[in-house]
Structure 1
Amino acid sequence: MINDDLPPQAFTKQDEGDDLAFYAPPRLVAHIDDCAIAALTSFYRHRLPTGARLLDLMSSWVSHLPDDRSYAHVVGHGMNVEELLANPRLDQWFVQDLNVRPTMALADQAFNAVLCCVGVQYLQRPFEVFAEVRRTLVPDGPFIVSYSNRCFPTKAVAIWRTLSMKDQASLISNYMNRSGFHDVEAHVLADGGSGDPLVIVIGLA
């Protein structure tokens, strides 16, 4: 169980250098393996309604959305222009360092769902970011945060690096609960027995 009162040092990083500079070289690679991707895509297929308006937070060159589903509008946020340009599912995108500026120039209740795939471990101001996500969601819209056991360790926050995957789910649940989300649940989508593990934490705005 993660205590509500997290000290500031919990969100320090080994590499405190400029994040935009770190992510400047495009990385057109998969950050989870095919089995984990398939599990996440299947979850999206069943959870995200056709025609939904989506925000893909901390996105890259692929959003893992199912090819057999269409959505009204998909906005991507990320840290690298080339990666976002290469993502065929994005109708619109923007680059922004959320550790510097956690507020986003997005309308209230603009999205039916917000996704964040394998990026939450890098957030140094998670409560501000999660509150901002909730602002952009329609009432009861889901925020789906997925993570595995991979990361750039020098850029992951200190508390993330000390926790087991089970406790990482508790940490994300803490972010959600303190930011006003409700019905927060964690689910194991891939147990890691034959590849990368994958866990999602979902909360409703």
Structure 2
Amino acid sequence: MSFDKRYKFTLTEDSFRRHDEGDDQAFYRVPRFVSHIDPGAIDAVTQLYREYFPENGAILDLMSSFLSHLPEDCQYSKVVGLGMNDREMANNRQLDDWVVQDLNRQPRLPFIDNQFDAAGICVSIDYLTNPVEVLRDLGRVMKRGAPLVITYSNRLFETKATAAWLHLQDEHRAHLVRHFLEEAGCYENIEMMDRSPRYGDPLYAVVAKVA
């Protein structure tokens, strides 16, 4: 897949509406002890983290769940998760600490400035109804030059994904994520890439560094 083209997006409030506008906390209340992508796509996510996350760094797994897909052969000083289900994160053996927070209700992160050396958002960016505000505050809690790895696939809870996401194809979704990062105003060196394995679920990534 080529990401050479440039696309412009005109987004309105309707762009972030969802089929299910019910309480997200109720939707995620029941824990899901499953992976949301298949093993090949998981390996692709893990490889990205191996390439971009600094060893011995403090890592933020934003929109975390039961699995974080961090490489088992790498050591980090601390891994913090922020997600919607306490039981899922309590059973995530890669997390040292975690916070339950609905980013669609409260986009400001409960962390101090310049706390993290890297962050990942795995197959979840499509659920944010105010992604620019979340990404802007994420830049606040990350150190200058820290990498952010955002991954997505074609598996999702369609009723909770935003209209903007559902109306685009995979290639265009990478450009949408890039648009969010540019609008946030605190990222540079934005890369879009196709890391799909030969078989199974596709896996795409948008990687940036905090300016």
How high is the TM-score relative to the length of structure 2?
Answer: 0.94
Instruction: Return 5+ residue gaps in structure 2 as ranges.
Output: 1-5
RMSD across aligned positions (CA)? 1.0
**How many Å apart are 1:79 and its aligned residue?**
0.4
1:140 aligns with 2:140: no
> Can you list the C-alpha shifts for 1:139-184, whole angstroms capped at 9, x where unaligned?
1111110000010000000010000000000000000011121111
Deviation at residue 44 of structure 1 after TM alignment: 1.1
* Contact kept? 2:120, 2:148, Cα under 8 Å: yes
**Which amino acid in the other structure matches residue 184 of structure 1?**
I
Hey, what's the Cα distance between the residues in 2 that align with 1:7 and 1:38? 35
Verify the 8 A CA contact 2:178 2:206 in the aligned structure 1: yes
Within 1, Cα distance between the matches of 2:10 and 2:200? 34
* Partner in structure 2 of residue 108 of structure 1: 113
SS at match of 1:9: helix
How far the C-alpha of 1:4 sits from its partner, in A, is 4.5
Q: How does 1:9-158 map to 2 (within 5 A)?
A: 9-158=14-163
Counterpart CA distance in 1 for 2:109 and 2:133 is 11
Decide whether the 8 Å contact of 2:48 with 2:149 is kept in 1: no
Contact 2:9 2:176 in 1 (8 A): no
The residue that corresponds to 1:185 in the other structure is 191
Rounded Cα–Cα distance in structure 1 between residues aligned with 2:124 and 2:51: 22
Length, aligned pairs only: 204
| Amino acid corresponding to residue 45 of structure 2 in structure 1 | L
Supply the distance in 1 between the matched residues of 2:107 and 2:44 (Cα, whole angstroms): 29
Following the alignment from structure 2 to structure 1, what is the Cα–Cα distance between the partners of residues 160 and 118? 26
Instruction: Tell me the secondary structure at the aligned position of residue 176 of structure 2.
Output: helix
Aligned to 1:163: 168
- Which secondary structure state, in structure 2, belongs to the residue aligned with residue 10 of structure 1? helix
SS at 2:64 equivalent: coil
Tell me if structure 1 keeps the 8 A contact 2:122–2:150: yes
Q: Which residue, 170, 173, 176 being the options, matches 2:178?
A: 173
Opposite residue 108 of structure 1, the aligned amino acid is D
**In structure 2, what is the Cα distance between the partners aligned to 1:30 and 1:55?**
19
Output the CA distance in 2 between the equivalents of 1:100 and 1:79.
Answer: 12
Shift of 1:46: 2.0
Write the distance in 1 (CA, Å) between the matches of 2:168 and 2:7.
Answer: 10
| Structure 1, gaps ≥5 residues long | none
SS at 2:195's partner residue? strand
- Residue 54 of structure 2 contacts residue 118 of structure 2 at CA under 8 Å; is this kept in 1? no
Deviation at 1:45, TM superposition (A): 1.3
